[in-house]
Copies of this chain bind each other. A is one copy, B any other.
Amino acid sequence: MAGNTFGQLFQVTTFGESHGGAVGCVVDGCPPGIEISQSEIQKDLDRRKPGQSRITTPRKEEDKIEILSGVFEGKTTGAPIMMMAKNKDARPSDYEKLKDVFRPSHADFTYEKKYGTRNWQGSGRASARETLARVAAGAIAKKFLKEKLGIEFLAYVEQVGNIKIKDVGVGLDRPELIESNIIRCPDEKVAERMIQYINILKREGDSIGGVIMGLIKNVPIGLGEPVFDKLSADLGKAMLSIPAVKGFEIGSGFEGVKMNGSQHNDPFTTNKRGKIGTKTNFSGGIQGGISNGEDIFFRVAFKPVSTIRKEQSTVNKNGQNIKLEATGRHDPCVLPRAVPIVEAMAAITIMDHYLRNKTLCKA
């Protein structure tokens, strides 16, 4: 109810702040018998971790995941899986000066007003470090869905500022290109321009936003509930719950509003093997809230990171106008590190709906 759990059947509860103690999650409702190891999970965490390239924050966090329950002899048992990464001990002095300051477009002000208190060390609970727990939980979902159903999750950076690749959409033919560069954009040339642009912003002490495209392939027909828990609505919520996300669209999205129904409707057709599919896919793989077997694709808009080195004006807890010069080491652009987070949230959502569909519709 306090919103630290995602999912109805595959339930991921995250905990932890950025400094002191640990960040982690409890995954409840995971089917028994899935082979899973710490190293498999670590692989995705390493794609999210800071300091992985010259365009991410130089902060060094190890993000080493431990599994403390729910796995026995290398397999899930059906019991809750607790995983966590210990935090480095806080160096309060680094944050002491931010203790009484409300940084612009951060959660400092809203936390303080909501709770009457806040953990000011490294943003406390509002730290993006929380997302490592999502990536860990998502790794289990991805493993299960890939092995059991062949479902695949892909995400890549489509746009940074005004730099954008041409829509390769679900036709993405060489997914291995995504991981071939540090911005995680499958178009090498565009990737290079993005990287150069981010480097400039880094030097200027500024930041930039962007768009991540998410793809889900081989989704079985029937996932999603028809009214409030449409698969598109739950994917949307999953993405909008990621820090810095300001927009979500599925299939034709905001562009689709300009089309006529006769253009936008996806005609059904039967292929040579007798399988019914659609000729076009403006629906983005979801119709009436339910997956129709076509590829699911969606876009996620990330605002520019709030933490910048440039001087800004703001107020302190007493309401006095002050100048703020951030000195922490942060990302000029979160997009490359957000790619595995988008994949993880997509996987958790699909996993949850896979279990939900099974319960009702194969009773």
Contact = CB atoms under 8 A, between A and B. Distances in A.
Given A229-B3, A262-B310, A109 B254 contact: no
Interface string A208-239: 11110000000001101111111011101110
Contacts of A84: 68, 82
Contacts of A148: 363
Contacts of A211: 254, 257
A332 to B, nearest CB: 8
A206 B247 contact: no
Interface in A265-320: 265-270, 274, 276, 278, 282-284, 287-292, 299, 301-308, 310, 312-315, 319-320
How many interface residues does chain A have, given as a range? 35 or more
A256 B160 CA distance: 11
Interface in A125-164: 125-126, 130, 144, 148, 159-162
A190 interface: no
Give the 9 A-B residue pairs with the shortest CB-CB distance, closest first.
A107-B288, A3-B225, A3-B229, A31-B363, A247-B249, A207-B261, A209-B257, A110-B290, A21-B68
B3 A111 contact: no
Nearest to A208: B260
B355 A110 contact: no
B260 A253 contact: no
A319 B273 CA distance: 11
Nearest to A114: B222
Contacts of A288: 106-107, 110-111, 126, 243
Given A227-B3, A262-B310, A303 B282 contact: yes
